[in-house]
Chain A
Amino acid sequence: MSVKQISVFLENRPGTLKSLTAVLAENNINIRALSLADTNDFGIVRMLVDDVFDATNVLKDAGFIASLTPVLVFAVSDKTGGLDNLLAKFEAAQINIEYMYAFAGKKDAYMIFRVSDTKNAEAALRKAGCKALTAEEMTAV
């Protein structure tokens, strides 16, 4: 199962990220993972939150431009070669990674992948023995 990531457009100047986090904090939305892609002029904040539906609505109400993107989340054991093992499966299935980022859970580390063809990638990886986390599973870790 893929998980829905929220992508938000931000102008590249001081305080814009803060204005985003302020809206989430005010609405009791917890950020689980976050990454920032930037150019000279603008950036895209990508994040996993505990309540996607709520987060999308409050951000839009606050005047942000946000969109939802499916991403795959995998647990990786927090030890040498953990990520390498996982990426070996990506390579074997010829899956191209557009971008990735990570967050640490209570026990394991979690890798978030954006791939070109989410559905096929997920199926191929499941065949190889790697099951992507669901949104519910994400909440628990």
Chain B
Amino acid sequence: MEHYFQAEIECAPAEKIRTLQEEKLKKQVRHAWEHVPYYRQKMEEQGVKPEDIQTLADIRKLPFISKHDLRETYPYGLLAVPLKDCVRIHSTSGTTGKRVVAYYTQADIDMWNDCTARALAAAGGTDEDVCHIAYGYGLFTGGAGIDGGSHKLGCLTVPASSGNTERQIMFIMDLKATILCCTPSYAAYLAESMREMGYGPEDIPLKIGIFGAEAWSEEMRRDIEQTLGIKAYDIYGLTELSGPGVAFACSAQDGMHINEDHFLAEIIDPDTGEVLPDGSQGELVLTALDKQAFPILRYRTRDICVLNREKCSCGRTHVRMSKPLGRSDDMLIIRGVNVFPSQIETVLLNHGYAANYQIIVDRVNNTDTLTVKVEMTPQMFTDNVGEIDDRRKELAEGIKNILGIRAKVKLVAPKSIERSNGKAIRIIDKRKI
């Protein structure tokens, strides 16, 4: 039997959803115009006023916003309500000092929690379940986002957060957790650890996995499902839009339903910005229709995907997005963490190396690995192997400090990094996703 958290809206006729979106969009555009000078300025530059937005199609008149805008306006530039009305912030794992900070009013949090509660219910969760959350708790939206939904649904919530795998396994086994929420790579790691400890799928109480925040393959899903004896579901979200729960997989496990009563989705050509018809592959652009504190209009997610409006066997009417096929820019998601080549470049320069490097991402035993090849320079070379190695370790430490994930640093000969038309190939992503 299909479970819903808010069946009425989740299964509402498409026409009703469109009408609702239209009303909300008009209101939201006016809200942004009236309370956020940055939006007003961008709209004025484009020659568009709130009254120009009457139908959903009119959204095309609005300018896009990107991560760049969010960094530009750090920390208060997009705030649309008095700070006293905000109850929470979250932040992306962005470049140091240039993070994106998102604000939430209580209503924003409630909306977000509804979204994650829908995701849990769609995966089969009910108030009978014990929901073990191994996403990081903190500035990252993963932990808090699922936590809120789990409470709304009435699950017994285990806020395990990340790390300490032995303790995680102990709690899953002793508290008979039935739902596991974490990144897919951590799920794979947990599964492998449990297998090594001698637990078979029949010993493990888990039934459902909700995994997101990084790319993962179908092959990996099957591995995790078999080892843990669960069904694994995708969840999608971005801190900029609220967090996990913007979209989620249902029992059909064929794409993720975007919560269309709260988010308006478009697909554009990433090069021209032109809106593409349904079914086309392109960059996902999202507009938050209800967010009070931090309005987001036409946000370029950089995720390349396809929207599917066909009827879903689960009964939900909201549009489905495919698993993101890639990123339209250089950003890498490694172990759920956003990594920009520019961050690594900064560390290299700070440590006295030149900006001649290459980032190699791979997946070994279902865990992402990051290797940074760095060209040796005359300045950094000495006749002493130990000293070179110490500097290499310092560099690796510096990268870990800024990215939050470990990287292997490999020193290579000058000019040995492959170049294509004179431009160094900065990223090699070997993950088969």
Which residues of B are found within 8 Å of A64, using beta-carbon distances?
413-414
Task: Please tell me if the beta carbons of A67 and B412 are within 8 angstroms of each other in the complex.
Answer: no
Q: Mark B380-419, 1 if CB is under 8 A from A, else 0.
A: 0111110011000000000000000000001111111000
B281-322: which have CB < 8 Å to A?
Answer: none
CA separation between A7 and B384, bound complex, in Å?
9
Q: B377 an interface residue at 8 Å Cβ cutoff?
A: yes
Q: Are B383 and A11 in contact (CB under 8 A)?
A: no
Query: Which A residues from 67 to 113 make CB contacts under 8 A with B?
Result: 67, 69, 98
Q: Which residues of A contact B381 (CB under 8 A)?
A: 7, 9, 65, 67
Known: A42-B376, A42-B388. A69 touches B383 (CB 8 A): yes
Q: Chain A residues with Cβ under 8 A from B97's Cβ?
A: none
Contact between chains at B385 and A11 (CB < 8 Å):
no
Query: B378 and A67: CB pair below 8 A?
Result: yes
B393 CB, nearest partner CB in chain A, Å: 11
- The residues of A that contact B378 with a CB separation of less than 8 Å are 65, 67
Cβ of A63 under 8 Å from chain B: yes
User: Given A39-B389, A41-B410, A65-B378, do A7 and B383 touch, yes or no (CB 8 Å)?
Assistant: yes
Q: Residue among A16, A38, A44, A98 with the most chain B CB within 10 A? A: A44
Q: CA of A125 to CA of B415 in the docked complex: distance in angstroms? A: 43
Total A-B Cβ pairs within 8 A: 47
The reply to whether B413 and A16 contact each other, CB–CB distance below 8 Å, is yes
- Count how many chain B residues have C-beta atoms less than 8 Å from C-beta atoms of the other chain: 17
Which residue of chain B has the shortest Cβ distance to A19 in the bound complex? B413
Q: How far is the CA of A89 from the CA of B411 in the complex (A)?
A: 38
Cβ-based interface call for A114 (8 A): yes
Which secondary structure dominates where chain A touches chain B?
strand
Residues in A with CB closer than 8 Å to B411 are: 9, 11, 41-42
A9 touches B413 (CB 8 A): yes
Complexed CA–CA distance, A10 and B381 (Å): 11
Roughly how many angstroms separate A10 CA and B383 CA in the complex, as a whole number? 12
| Contact A67 B410, CB 8 Å, known A9-B376, A11-B416, A42-B376 | no
Contact, CB under 8 Å: B415 / A65: no
Partner of B385, one of A5, A37, A67, A69: A37
Q: Specify the chain A residue showing the minimal Cβ separation from B375.
A: A65
From residue A96, how far is it (CB to closest CB) to chain B in Å? 13
| B interface SS class | loop
Query: Which residues of A have CB within 8 Å of B377?
Result: 65
Chain A, 40-69, CB within 8 A of any chain B CB: 41-42, 44, 46, 63-65, 67, 69
Among A9, A11, A67, chain B packs the most CB atoms within 10 A around the CB of A9
Q: Which residues of A contact B410 (CB under 8 A)?
A: 41
- Asked if B376 contacts A65 (CB within 8 A), the reply is yes
How far is it, in angstroms, between the C-alpha of A24 and the C-alpha of B381 when the chains are bound?
20
Residues of B within 8 A of A7 (CB): 381-383
Chain A residues lying within 8 Å of B376, measured Cβ to Cβ, are 9, 42, 65
Contacts of A11 in B (CB 8 A): 411-413, 416
The answer to whether residues A114 and B413 also contact, given A39-B389, A65-B376, A65-B377 and a CB cut-off of 8 A, is no
Q: Which residues of B contact A44 (CB under 8 A)?
A: 383, 385, 388
Q: Nearest-CB distance from B391 to chain A (Å)?
A: 12
Asked if residues B412 and A114 are in contact (CB atoms below 8 Å), the reply is no
A92 to B413, CA, bound (A): 41
* A63 cross-chain contacts in B, Cβ below 8 A: 413-415
Q: Which residues of B contact A65 (CB under 8 A)?
A: 376-378, 381, 413-414
Which residues of A are found within 8 Å of B385, using beta-carbon distances? 37-39, 44
User: How many Å lie between the Cα of A68 and that of B384 in the bound state?
Assistant: 12
| Smallest beta-carbon distance B194→chain A, Å | 32
Report chain A residues within 8 Å CB of B414.
63-65
Kindly provide the distance from the CB of A44 to the nearest chain B CB, expressed in whole angstroms.
6
Give min CB distance, A36 to chain B, whole Å: 10
Task: Write the chain B residue with the least CB distance to A70.
Answer: B383
- By a CB distance below 8 angstroms, the chain A residues around B413 are 9-11, 16, 63-65
Q: Which 3 A-B pairs have the closest CB atoms?
A: A7-B383, A69-B383, A11-B413
Other than the given A9-B413, A63-B415, 12 more pairs (CB < 8 A) read A5-B383, A7-B382, A11-B411, A41-B410, A41-B411, A42-B411, A44-B388, A63-B413, A64-B414, A67-B382, A69-B383, A114-B383
* Residue positions of A touching B, CB distance < 8 A: 5, 7, 9-11, 16, 37-39, 41-42, 44, 46, 63-65, 67, 69, 98, 114
